[in-house]
Amino acid sequence: GIHLGAMAGTIDVVQRSFAGLRMTSDALLFSPKMPKGIRTVSFHVRYRDHLLSINLEHGKLTVSAAPG
């Protein structure tokens, strides 16, 4: 089966390493560092009761309100 701790670690790598995501009390900060072999990364994050859709491509970061 899939180990929950392993999945959480994977999400952490994508959010903090690839996206460079850091949450503060008043802002989401990004400093993307996408590996060369990965073209795009997409994920959702909840911040201040808003569900946001994050999409990363080399040289482009998009943050938008996610449905729901």
Residue 49 falls in which region: left (phi positive, over 0), alpha (psi -120 to 50) or beta: left
DSSP letter assigned to residue 6: H
Is the pLDDT score of 6 beyond 90?
no
| Residue 25 structural domain | 4-65
Is pLDDT above 80 for 1?
A: no
Three-state SS string over 7-35 comes to HHHHHHHHHHHHCCCEECCCCEECCCCCC
Dump pLDDT digits (tens) for 16-58: 888 899 999 899 999 998 888 989 999 999 999 999 999 999 8
Residue 28, pLDDT score: 93
Q: Is pLDDT above 80 for 10?
A: no
Residue 68 pLDDT > 70, yes or no?
no
CATH code for the domain in which residue 43 is found? 2.60.420.10
Q: What is the number of domains present in the chain?
A: 1
